[in-house]
Amino acid sequence: MTTNSAARGFFRSALDAMMAARERQASRYVAGMLLKYDDETLLAGGFRRAELEKRASRL
């Protein structure tokens, strides 16, 4: 029984890591797209250009 539990733990951890990586990738993509807007539009949406630039450039 422990091998099933260990295997499930491994696959769950791998899935969680993959989902977290995709979330970071999506966040960078959205930040990059938002940077195409002018500063006035960004501020109206509650975003700051400096924060978006930092988020878009993360590796």
Integer Cα distance of 37 and 49 in angstroms: 9
First to last CA, the chain: 39
Residue 10, in any domain of the structure: no
Q: Which pLDDT does position 57 carry in this prediction?
A: 87
Residue 12, in any domain of the structure: no
Q: From the first residue on, what is the mean pLDDT of each consecutive set of 10 residues in the chain (59 residues)?
A: 69 95 95 95 95 86
Residue 3, in any domain of the structure: no
Task: Supply the pTM of this predicted model.
Answer: 0.72
Supply the range of the domain harboring residue 49: 22-59
Counting the structural domains of the chain, the total is: 1
Residue 35, in any domain of the structure: yes
